Amino acid sequence: MSALRVRYQTIEFGTTDIHLRTLRDRQEFDDPDDAAADLGISSSTWSLFGIVWGSSELLARLMYDYDIEKLRILEVGCGIGLASMVLNHRSANITATDHNPAAQKFLEENVKLNKSKPIPFVCADWSGTNSTLGKFDLIIGSDLLYEPDSATLLSRFIDHHALPRCKVLLIDPGRGYQSKFSKKMTALGYSCNRTTPTNQMANALTLPTQNAPNFKILSFER
């Protein structure tokens, strides 16, 4: 198998440049030790972690000036970890997780590329209950509700890692499971709010995306 093809890009956040090494496209695949396959990740979805999606850029832009003082923050399904990189640049207490173990290597290399401090990473399955992650004040994620069972698994995972007072902030590009997820979170005791990004937020996106008009900011709090 040929080596992975990658690309380098820089995304600007105000006066901050975040440099990224990502997969060149969604056709790339490299799982020689079956690390992802053993976790149930198919070859057709393996590459999804390794590119930057419009929803992840929107989340990162929200985190660029979000009030992070004294917060322990968890990014769920971080993928290439753009939001975590932005928060790390701001010296936030951020931990990143993803189901695909390959995300860790890319995150580590991107931290070095930006000359930043290491970001703690945990390969986490939402159905798992023995994670050593701990509890968090703020839990964030982007484009996570893409499977029929995502609402149930993600809501349980979030609640398991949420402090008694916790805020959850998710960006969803209109996958179709927003309502189901919101009902699950309400049943767990969270208040829910769904908003549309402002024109200023949408216009700030630099990555081409056809889903921008469908983006929703899902906010939950207890």
This prediction's pTM: 0.94
Strands 72-76 and 16-23: unpaired
Handedness of CA 172, 196, 60, 168 (dihedral sign): negative
- By C-alpha distance, which of 171, 176, 153 is closest to 209? 171
Percent of the chain beyond pLDDT 70? 95
Amino acid making up residue 101? P
Determine the 3-state secondary structure of 76 from DSSP.
strand
Dist CA 22 CA 161 (whole Å): 28
- By C-alpha distance, which of 203, 83, 68 is closest to 137? 68
Dist CA 184 CA 33 (whole Å): 36
The 10s digit of each residue's pLDDT in 152-197 is 999 999 999 999 999 999 999 988 899 999 999 999 999 999 999 8
Domain-wise residue ranges, the chain = 6-221
Dist CA 30 CA 177 (whole Å): 30
- By C-alpha distance, which of 133, 160, 151 is closest to 218? 151
Dist CA 54 CA 173 (whole Å): 8
List beta partners, residue 23: 6
Determine the 3-state secondary structure of 163 from DSSP.
strand
The 10s digit of each residue's pLDDT in 56-100 is 999 999 999 999 999 999 999 999 999 999 999 999 999 999 999
Dist CA 101 CA 123 (whole Å): 6
Q: Which homologous superfamily does the CATH classification assign to the domain defined by 6-221?
A: Vaccinia Virus protein VP39 (3.40.50.150)
> What's the confidence (pLDDT) of residue 1?
43
The 10s digit of each residue's pLDDT in 84-141 is 999 999 999 999 999 999 999 999 999 999 999 999 999 998 987 666 899 999 999 9
Amino acid making up residue 47? S
